[in-house]
Amino acid sequence: MEEKEMQNQETELDLNQLMKVRREKLAKLQAEGKDPFKITTFNPTHTSGQIKENYEQLEEKEVTIAGRMMAKRIMGKASFCHIQDEEGKIQSYVSINDLGEESYKQFKEDDIGDIIGITGFVFKTKTGEISIHAKEVTLLSKSLRPLPEKFHGLKDTDLRYRQRYVDLIVNPEVKEVFKKRTQIIKEIRSILDEKGYMEVETPILNTISGGASARPFVTHHNTLDMDMYLRIATELHLKRLIVGGFDKVYEIGRNFRNEGMDIKHNPEYTCIELYEAYTDLNGMMDITEELIAKCAKKVAGTTKLVYQGEEIDLTPPFKRITMIDSIKEVTGIDFNKITTDEEAQKIAKQLNIELDPIKMTRGDIIAEVFDAKVEETLRQPTFLYEYPIENSPLAKKDPEKPNMTQRFELFIAGREYANAFSELNDPIDQYERFKKQVEAREAGDEEASMMDEDFVTALEYGMPPTGGMGMGIDRLVMLLTDAASIRDVLLFPTMKPLNNA
């Protein structure tokens, strides 16, 4: 047997033995009528952060805290331990003189990882460390499994994502990412609420998959005996509300896309979509800039930050450029001078871009060239606008360029962050575009939209000129917390079960 395999086997043996010892300790407590799992309440008066921040007011005052014991140093009749709560760690001095012989003996039996409560007075040690002089220690919950640093640490990213609960215990800095995530979402809500937007909720289960180009998840409704789709976007329902007379609406919620997984994609993700009547693409650019800049200031204190070693300036206004002009800047090719599908196909071949056989039009190829040659070069915040009509079935045509649409996507650090339109409100045009999407779907494009006749009906009642924008919250959190992977900003990312790994 190789040395590494032997070490792993020994580690497992040690772990099992330690778990056995902990269970024996629990059984002894239960036999003595001291079962910690029968405790239902405990009343901490302060957190570790509050004690440290308000030491001068709390010195010599009695406090009660609760948390997980992360370290313990036994020195005969006196000991030190560190308690970790939601706000950090704080030291406690525990002695036999204060607790009494029986309670001190029990404290010495407590394990690293146990949840305990401590009541005592606040003081500073000789080294100046703010601490709690314990008068009473209560075991609130027994940890039956040792924390991972006892064996190999919790550095393996796959294990960290699978066991986020342990990750949060032994890598407490991870909590800061999720606190910032909450701050970002609260800031977005605050900005939009102040502007008069109304937050709404729309269905997750749909009879038609629409609102974006993506492959959906399919489930089955037993009572109705019909297949349904988990939503890939909230767009079509939100625009129905604009038709109904709500002029400013937004939704922050989960979308589901049955697609690949990588550092930028998770099958379920959080998105904000907002719609405002009587505005257009430019209005959506303005509000997108404002949301991102204000969120950056909220969690980072500045609009100039570093993402994965690269300096990014989120100060508005962001650069604005058409898709065709961006291609010309990078490749020298001007698609304004290329008018036929055949010419565009020749350009793609020259650029060694492999085309999808069902996406061979000039518009399709413009989008493919952009994806292959330009997207990665857009490092500073850049709005790309004027998208081909072929891949923008819900966006309004450009009045001066009917084969292009009033759509933008925002790119930062070579990655898409937001997508927006001057919304298509012509029901006849919308119906024809849905028909083309159905044809593409029948030809094998699993990401093409389905026909949504009820949405067309809604448009027939009249929808005002409207601007709409969707932005991935997870990617924004990644940017503002310098996270390399989307899994770093999702508490429980989608993972393959270990027995299938």
The model's pLDDT over 421-476, given as tens digits with 9 standing for 90+, comes to 999 999 999 999 999 889 888 888 888 888 999 999 999 999 999 999 999 999 99
Residue 151 pLDDT: 42
Residues 203 and 258 in one domain: yes
In a domain, 242, yes or no: yes
Residue 201 pLDDT: 98
Residues 187 and 146 in one domain: no
How far is 170 from 154, CA to CA, in rounded Å?
A: 7
φ/ψ (deg, to 5) at 261 = -120, 130
Residues 30 and 120 in one domain: yes
Q: What is the pLDDT of residues 37-65, one digit of tens each?
A: 999 999 999 999 999 999 999 999 999 99
How far is 350 from 343, CA to CA, in rounded Å?
A: 11
In a domain, 353, yes or no: no
pLDDT > 60? residue 7: no
Residues 140 and 201 in one domain: no
Q: Which of 354, 364, 355 is nearest to 388 (CA)?
A: 364
Parent domain of 421: 174-318+380-495
In a domain, 163, yes or no: no
User: What CATH number is attached to the domain comprising 262?
Assistant: 3.30.930.10
Q: Which of 55, 56, 72, 195 is nearest to 137 (CA)?
A: 72
Residues 238 and 384 in one domain: yes
In a domain, 427, yes or no: yes
Residues 69 and 192 in one domain: no
Q: What is the number of domains present in the chain?
A: 2
Find the angle CA(299)-CA(301)-CA(307) to the nearest 5 degrees: 70
pLDDT > 70? residue 21: yes
How far is 356 from 448, CA to CA, in rounded Å?
A: 14
pLDDT > 60? residue 167: yes
Q: Give the Å distances, CA to CA, from 275 to 42, 247, 290, 436, 476.
A: 46, 8, 15, 25, 19
Is residue 15 very low, low, confident or very high in pLDDT (cuts 50, 70, 90)? confident
Residues 101 and 234 in one domain: no
In a domain, 356, yes or no: no
Residue 497 pLDDT: 84
Which tokens hold the place of 191?
């900005």
User: What CATH number is attached to the domain comprising 66?
Assistant: 2.40.50.140
On whether the CB atoms of residues 132 and 122 are closer than 8 A, the answer is yes
220 vs 6, higher pLDDT: 220
Q: What is the pLDDT of residues 279-326, one digit of tens each?
A: 999 999 999 999 999 999 999 999 999 999 999 999 999 999 999 999
In a domain, 351, yes or no: no
In a domain, 226, yes or no: yes
Residues 292 and 245 in one domain: yes
Residues 181 and 100 in one domain: no
Residues 188 and 293 in one domain: yes
Q: Is 2 helix (H, G, I), strand (E, B) or coil?
A: coil
30 vs 11, higher pLDDT: 30
On whether the CB atoms of residues 355 and 368 are closer than 8 A, the answer is yes
In a domain, 375, yes or no: no
Residues 137 and 207 in one domain: no
Residues 282 and 429 in one domain: yes
